Structure 1
Amino acid sequence: MEVIVDPINSAVETLMSGTNTLFILLGAIMVLFMHAGFAFLEVGTVRHKNQVNALVKIITDFGISTIAYFFIGYWVAYGATFFSGAAELTQNNGYDLVKFFFLLTFAAAIPAIVSGGIAERAKFNPFLIASFFIVALVYPFFEGMIWNGNFGYQAWLEATFGAAFHDFAGSIVVHAVGGWVAFAAVYLLGSRQGRFRNNKLVAFAPSNIPFLALGAWILTVGWFGFNVMSAQTIDAISGLVAVNSLMAMVGGTLVALMVGKNDPGFIHNGPLAGLVAVCAGSDIMHPIGALLTGGIAGALFVFVFTWAQNNLKSFDDVLGVWPLHGLCGLWGGLAAGIFGTTTFGGLGGVSFLAQLVGSLTGVAIATLGGFIVYGAVKQISGLRLEPEDEFQGADLAIHKIAASSMDD
């Protein structure tokens, strides 16, 4: 009987290993495609003279992020490297390699988030250099603390508050970190030329609403890979994550519609706000809790973006990445500690105080890291385009080509 059972067990193990590898690979591809969403969201928001730059930044940032994360960042977060032979790397159908690919797409989201905040007046190469250090050091430092238990941080939270910090798909680890890193970059960069005249805000209208909407749709669809496939193995997949993501998306959309007074920019960022917020607790919330989480995030984005644009004159966050990712991500970390509890219909196993402390820790590390990295780059090479280049537009000043010819 053993002669028959052993080959069967081996075949089942091989099948499961291959299935898990395919599962997480599909997730990696879906999140990779989300970077096209980042690109088109920015293309549709910036003025025509900066559209090429928006596209180029996202894809080159991804390339820089891959090198930074492969050689340094993944080791910082998980203590693993890829310097062994290919035979060892391809064990279990190469699952560890594809897991790296999946987590890389998360890491690369950090400079993609920053890109939207610093659009239209940032130097190109200095920000690529900054992206390298953010993805190599700042992001994986906190990632490892939360998702790998580095420095005993999670163990300390559990011993102190009765539960570890819960961030299933990265409301804090990815989005809040990206948003607060962007906060530092935007602050150090300053406002675009002509943003305020006679002490009054000059609105720079989005250049292409269809492109903006396309970017939002690509991000929204890809987010189901971002959230659901954070399970990382097929046996851990949960329909609850999918439906909670859906409900948060809808909540963010409808509330942004109401409080944003039919503004298409707010409406298409509404689902993104909801999805940012639900990442942390998408595996433990009740769908109604997810709906409320998304709705609050949609309102938070609209109100804070509007307030910041009108009152923070030196803080020119073009796409609103700080309220969208930084603040809605922070809300998501806290929401997991509210709507994830059994009191509100969740699965439990979370502590609000652990969520509060963990979320604020992420904000502090991201903000400090952002100011260190972008502050150093500012001192060495500067962050802003020259006034004449900014007036001309980043497309011609940096890439020597416009998004469309004059004949069109």
Structure 2
Amino acid sequence: MSTAPAGADVFFVLIGAILVFAMHGGFAFLEAGTVRHKNQVNALVKILTDFAISTLAYFFVGYAIAYGTTFFVSAQVLSGADGTFEPQGLSLVKFFFLTTFAAAIPAIISGGIAERMRFLPQCLATVALVGVAYPLFEGIVWNGNFGLQAMVEAAFGAKFHDFAGSVVVHAFGGWAALAAVLLLGARRGRYDKQGRAIGIPPSSIPWLALGSWLLCTGWFGFNVMTAASLANVSGLVALNSLMAMAGGILTALIAGRNDPGFVHNGALAGLVAVCAGSDVMHPVGALLVGGIAGVIFVKGFEICQNRLKIDDVLGVWPLHGLCGAWGGVAAGVFGLESLGGMGGVSPLAQIAGTGAGVLLALMAGFLVYGVIKSTIGLRLSQEEEFRGADLSIHHISANPEHDLGR
């Protein structure tokens, strides 16, 4: 009977890890449906390969940087035999859960650099980002490393609050992606000689929609099961996630003039933004946060693509970068008791923490992708890009039998 609570928590966190792992299928199909048909296979292979590389980089290096824990002990110790690790492998499923978060960084970036990025450079970037850069910020925010959270609390009366990763995961991935996209450059034919955008339609709205649905479903594991135990789980997080998602869908529907891509990404925008304060906001506050995020995504995507001429294929910078930063700041506003929240947050602390996350992500993105660009290069050749990443990298298309004319 004494082991029952630990076993229940193991199962609880494991289900959360599985739900967030399933979100990576959402990343894959969202990208596969958005890119052109000749790049669909590459989208699917990238996400799965990046997850495997992320797992190893986080296991051998990243987790130790973030939490000071390594796994180079016996299986008995890992299972909790001497009290170093939590009983029944609870520490291990927590690692699995956090691995799915870490692997979201390259999955987010993948959508921005789609259709013209070489495969090996992206794999190397994943090692550096998941093994070193992301865990540095994760450890600062979620483990109090370097005493920076204590400094923020002393200065502003509260620590930087990011319950489920609006900034730690999404903004970090989105702003690192912006650096990668800028270094990579636009796809060939995306803009004419006068700088006018040339539309490249999605290859499959149903695949795009499936990706969004998978992400939305898994997100309730992403947010709710961040509690890490049955004793700490909160239905408020679930309801706030639901309300933010609904708000993002409806405002993106209106601002995006019924465009299906905006609608399905609007759901994700709302969920990105609510992560940070989902445990402290009132549901009406979460609805507003998600609704504003839906507009931020639509307008941010249009400005990014048409005015700034930044060829971010899936709009990961406006979706994860801008909406994630908005969520970080919004947690310090809508989490206040005066606005119906739980309290314990500071607007200034949220601004400081969000700004630090954005700055670190930009620096990491420019450093990692800049070094790779200057050494082995980032882009496919003009001929390879024209042929498509599927044939150029993987030597097979999404519909090989159809290509043979049989």
TM-score (ref. length: structure 1): 0.96
Q: CA deviation at 1:221?
A: 0.4
Indicate which of 217, 227, 230 corresponds to 1:231: 227
* CA distance, structure 2, for counterparts of residue 312 and residue 341 of structure 1: 35
Structure 1 residue 380 and structure 2 residue 380: aligned? Answer: no
* CA distance, structure 1, for counterparts of residue 9 and residue 161 of structure 2: 23
| Aligned Cα root-mean-square deviation (Å) | 0.7
Kindly report structure 1 stretches of 4+ aligned residues shifted beyond 2 Å.
405-408
What letter matches 1:299 in structure 2?
Answer: V
Percent identity of the aligned residues? 64
Indicate which of 137, 141, 149 corresponds to 2:144: 149
What letter matches 1:391 in structure 2?
Answer: F
What letter matches 1:400 in structure 2?
Answer: H
Indicate which of 49, 57, 68 corresponds to 2:57: 68
Aligned to 1:296: 292
Aligned to 1:47: 36
Aligned to 1:391: 386
Structure 1 residue 179 and structure 2 residue 179: aligned? Answer: no
Name the SS of the counterpart of 2:3 in structure 1: helix
Aligned to 1:6: none
Structure 1 residue 129 and structure 2 residue 124: aligned? Answer: yes
What letter matches 1:20 in structure 2?
Answer: D
Q: Structure 1: which 5+ residue stretches go unaligned?
A: 1-10
Structure 1 residue 79 and structure 2 residue 68: aligned? Answer: yes
Structure 1 residue 338 and structure 2 residue 333: aligned? Answer: yes
* CA distance, structure 1, for counterparts of residue 169 and residue 372 of structure 2: 22
* CA distance, structure 2, for counterparts of residue 30 and residue 130 of structure 1: 25
* CA distance, structure 2, for counterparts of residue 260 and residue 70 of structure 1: 41
* CA distance, structure 1, for counterparts of residue 205 and residue 289 of structure 2: 27
What letter matches 2:378 in structure 1?
Answer: L
Structure 1 residue 365 and structure 2 residue 360: aligned? Answer: yes
* CA distance, structure 1, for counterparts of residue 387 and residue 308 of structure 2: 25
What letter matches 1:52 in structure 2?
Answer: V
Aligned to 1:202: 198
Offset from partner CA, 1:285-333 (integer Å, 9 cap, x none): 00000000000000000001011111222x2100000000000000000
Indicate which of 307, 310, 317 corresponds to 1:311: 307
* CA distance, structure 1, for counterparts of residue 110 and residue 140 of structure 2: 25
Aligned to 1:8: none
* CA distance, structure 1, for counterparts of residue 61 and residue 140 of structure 2: 16
Indicate which of 238, 243, 248 corresponds to 2:244: 248
Q: CA deviation at 1:197?
A: 1.7
Matches within 5 A, 1:321-336: 321-336=316-331
Offset from partner CA, 1:322-373 (integer Å, 9 cap, x none): 0000000000000000000011100000000000000000001111011111
Offset from partner CA, 1:353-402 (integer Å, 9 cap, x none): 00000000000111101111110011111000000000000000000001
* CA distance, structure 2, for counterparts of residue 348 and residue 33 of structure 1: 33
Indicate which of 9, 19, 22 corresponds to 2:11: 22
* CA distance, structure 1, for counterparts of residue 10 and residue 362 of structure 2: 35
